[in-house]
């Protein structure tokens, strides 16, 4: 007999899960855009390859520190001291993680200095790392602490997150090629990135929740508590 078909996870169409997907898409659009095009953008402002060791790497070095600070702010400041509800803390962190990069992108539209642009890029990348205490941590909330469900959710979210890795590069390349000047092209590129951040944040603020999503009996049977990521353990034959 053929093996039974596995049921589609019930969380796929839930608005709270779709909000996480939208936030991840928007976050990755900006992340892949900067990861791929940051050197070209800074060199268009007069930076040289000799400056690259500092200008190109500084934003990501700053993000390492900012990411850890973000975790402390979420747990110690927002939850412990300010006593915010978990959902409100998640939304606050995500708002910072997207509004700051959005503002930086808009300021980059008028930037003429490689050093000033690098500072704005550092602020954008550092702030976006606070998403780890926003939508990224929210996946664990939606999974109710169940490792198998969280793994399924992350698998879907990361699959969706690869789309902007392709789209952002294709769109940016075509926009720059079609623009009358390099400066005009970068204005369009960063404006598109800012709009993407706004859309992702709007979806998260409107639809996110911190309560576990309902799961079907089949999904619960496949959780870690009932046999791990590969499903329920088979019954042992009596000896």
pLDDT tops 80 at residue 219: no
229, 148 contact by CB (below 8 A): yes
Q: Is residue 78 classed exposed, middle or buried when 0-12, 13-18 and 19+ CB atoms within 10 A define those classes?
A: buried
29, 168 contact by CB (below 8 A): yes
The residues near 67 (Cβ < 8 Å, ≥ 6 apart) are 126, 129, 130, 132
Q: Confidence band (pLDDT; 50, 70, 90) for 235?
A: very low
Q: Confidence band (pLDDT; 50, 70, 90) for 129?
A: very high
Write out the two tokens for 229.
């990521």
Whole-model pTM: value is 0.85
What is the rounded distance in angstroms from the CA atom of residue 115 to the CA atom of residue 142? 41
The residue among 56 and 165 whose pLDDT is bigger is 165
Could you tell me the CA-to-CA distances from 89 to 23, 27, 98, 121, 225 in Å, in that order? Answer: 16, 18, 14, 25, 29
Q: Confidence band (pLDDT; 50, 70, 90) for 227?
A: very low
The residues near 178 (Cβ < 8 Å, ≥ 6 apart) are 185
Could you tell me the CA-to-CA distances from 169 to 34, 94, 140, 155, 231 in Å, in that order? Answer: 10, 24, 30, 22, 38
pLDDT tops 90 at residue 201: yes
pLDDT tops 60 at residue 203: yes
Nearest to 26 by CA among 164, 167, 209: 164
pLDDT tens sequence across 50-59: 776 777 788 8
């Amino acid at each position: 007999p053929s093996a039974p078909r596995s049921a589609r996870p019930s969380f796929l169409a839930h608005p709270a899960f779709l909000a996480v997907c939208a936030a991840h898409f928007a976050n990755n659009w900006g992340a892949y855009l900067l990861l791929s095009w940051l050197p070209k953008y800074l060199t268009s402002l007069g930076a040289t390859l000799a400056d690259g060791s500092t200008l190109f790497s500084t934003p990501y070095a700053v993000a390492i520190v900012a990411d850890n600070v973000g975790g402390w702010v979420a747990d110690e400041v927002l939850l412990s001291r300010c006593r915010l509800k978990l959902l409100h803390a998640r939304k606050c962190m995500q708002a910072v993680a997207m509004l700051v990069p959005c503002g930086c992108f808009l300021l980059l539209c008028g930037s003429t200095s490689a050093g000033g642009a690098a500072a704005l890029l550092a602020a954008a990348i550092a702030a976006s790392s606070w998403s780890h205490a926003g939508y990224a941590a929210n996946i664990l909330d939606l999974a109710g602490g169940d490792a198998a469900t969280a793994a399924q959710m992350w698998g879907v979210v990361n699959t969706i997150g690869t789309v902007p890795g392709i789209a952002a590069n294709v769109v940016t390349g075509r926009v720059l090629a079609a623009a009358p000047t390099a400066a005009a092209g970068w204005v369009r590129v960063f404006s598109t990135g800012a709009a993407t951040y706004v859309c992702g944040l709007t979806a998260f603020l409107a639809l996110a929740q911190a309560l576990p999503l309902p799961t079907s009996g089949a999904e619960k049977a496949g959780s870690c508590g009932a046999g791990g990521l590969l499903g329920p353990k088979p019954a042992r034959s009596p000896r």
